[in-house]
Structure 1
Amino acid sequence: MHFPATRLRRLRRSPTLRGMVRETRLAVEDLIYPLFCIAGRNQRRPIASMPGICQLSVDQAVLEAGSAWQLGIPAVLLFGIPADKDAVGSSGARPDGVVQRAVAAIKEAWPDLLVITDVCLCEYTDHGHCGVIRGGEVDNDATLELLAAQAVSHARAGADMVAPSDMMDGRVAALRAALDAAGYAQLPIMSYAVKYASAFYGPFREAAESAPRFGDRRSYQMDPANRREAHREAELDVAEGADCLIVKPALAYLDILRDLRRRLDLPLVAYNVSGEFAMLKAAAERGWLDHDQVMLESLTGMKRAGADLIITYHAPEAARLLRTR
C-alpha cells in the first residue's frame, strides 16, 4: 500500500506546529462578561444554578468589572435587578436606577473598559414580560417608547453601547431615533437580533429575577425550529441601524451563526447562555467532563462558526487560561 504524498498528520506533531497552523483563534479580547447588578451595598448574592456567578451591588460590580479589565477582558454587559417593579418597568429608565448607577461607577473607576447595557423591560416589570401588557398580550408599539427611554438613560449615565434584548419589532429603529435625537448619534447598538424562545435561559431567569408570572415569551422570541426567519430578523435590524448582531443561545444555534456570517459583514456576537454554562459546571462537578478543555473547545466552536465576539459567564476563567497560553 502506497500512501499519498500528502500526510495531514505532519502538521499536528507538536503543540508549536499545531499553534502555527491553527485556523481559528480564541482571544481574551473576544470576550464580554455579563454582570447582574442589584440595589444595596457590599452585596454578593450567589446564584445557585450558576456556580461562581453572583448578583452584585454597584460597589461590588465595580470590583468585578475591574478584575475583568485587569485580566484583559475588554467589555462587560450589565443587567439590572431593581428594588421595586411595576407593570411598565418604569424603574428601568430612572437616572438613579441600578444599571445607571453601575454604569457611572464603573466608567469612573475603569474608563477604558467598554460598558454595554441590556435594554429590556423583563427585569423591571412585576409580570416579568419584556413589554407592556394590554389585553393579556405584550403590546409591541407601546413598548418601544419605554425601551427608547431606557436606552437614552443608559447613554446619559455613560454607557458605551446599548443592547436591546426584548425582541419587539422595530425596536432598533426606535432606539436609534431616540439616541440620535438626544445627542448620542455615535453610540452603537448591539442588537439581540436572533433570540430564540429557548429553555437554555432557565438559570438566567433566576439570576435576573425575570421569569414571566404568566404565559411565556414565545409570541415575541423566535421559534427554535426556524432557520430562515433568523435571516429576516437579522436583516431587518441591520436596515434599522444595528451595528452588531447577537445570536442567542449559542451552542444549539451554531448553524444560524454560520448562516449569518455568510450573509452579513457586520460584527456577530454569540451569547453563551446560562443553561450552557450551568450544564458544563454540573458535569464538571461530577467528574464527567474536563471543565477547562470543554469550555475552551465550546468557545472556540462559536468563533469557528463565525462569531467575532462572545458573551459568556466563563469570561474570567477563560481569560486566565488564555493568558497562560
Structure 2
Amino acid sequence: MAVGARSGHGEPEDRPSSGGIPADSAGRAEGDGVPPGDGFPGGDSPGDDDSPGGGSTAQKKPRSFWKELPLLIGIALILALLIKTFLVQAFSIPSDSMQNTLQRGDRVLVDKLTPWFGSEPERGEVVVFHDPGGWLEDTAAPEPNAVQKFLSFIGLMPSAEEKDLIKRVIAIGGDTVECKKNGPVTVNGKALDDKSFIFEGNSACDDEPFGPIHVPEGRIWVMGDHRQNSLDSRYHQELPGQGTVSTDEVVGRAIVVAWPVNRWATLPVPSTFDQPGLNKAAAAVPAALGVAGALPLVFWRRRRLTSGRTAG
C-alpha cells in the first residue's frame, strides 16, 4: 500500500474549505472571530439588538399620571407663592368706599413687582396698604375656613389675618393738599376735576373738609372714591402721621379688576392728575438745587476775570 493512501473507498480527501480556511466540526469556518462552540441560542446575533451595547430591548414605561401629579402640584404651589410674593396678588373689595370704581366683592390684582425696584405710589393710583394703626380697629374680620386659608396662602385670596385697605392716592410726599366745604380738592393749589371717578352725587369733601395738609416725604394722602362713605385720611388726622400713610405700608398698586368676568377692567390714573402745574412744588426743588450749584461757578469765574484785569 502506497504511503499516504487512505484505506477504504468513498471517503473524501481532507481539503481546505472555501477561502483556504479549514472548517471545524460544526461546519463553521475558524478564524471568523467567534470561538468554536460559542453559538447564540435562538439564532440571535450581536447585531440583532437595537439597544446600545447589546442591552435589553425592552423600553422604559412612562411614569403614571397619578405618580406625577404630586410633583406637578408642588411646582404649581411654589410658582404661586413666588408670584404672590414678588409679582401680583389678588385682593377682595370688602366695602363700598371705592364705588363706583370698585364694587363690594370685586377681586383686584395688585402689582407687587414695581415697589421692589423702588417705585413709589403716584397721584391718582388705586393702592392697597396695610392698616397704619387705628384705621380698622373697630372692624371685626370673619374667621376664615380651611379653603379660604389655603387660597390666601397661595395668593388667590387676601389673608384674613392682615388688615388691608384700598384707596386712591390724592397727594404724595412734598404736596400740600386741601379741601374746603363746597370746594374741590386742591393739590399744590391746583383743583382736581374728580367728577370722572367719584361716586355719582358725592361732593368732593363736604362731609369732612380738611387742610391745608403738608404731606411729609415718604407718605401719601388717600381718599375713597365714594367720598361720603369712606373713612379715609380725612378721618384719621388725630393719629400719628395726621392721616397720611407711610409708603412702607403700601402693598402695591391695583391694576385690574379680575373678577367677576363681566366687570373686567383696568384701573388707569384719571387725567386730572396729569394737569400742568400739579408738580410745581416738586419741579421747584431741582431748579433750586441747580441755582445753588451754579452760584459757586459764577463767583469763581468773576474772581478769575477780576484777577486777570488786576494783573494787566
- TM bucket (normalised to shorter chain) is under 0.3
The structure having more radius of gyration, on CA atoms, is 2
Normalised TM-score (structure 2): 0.22
Higher percent of residues as helix: 1
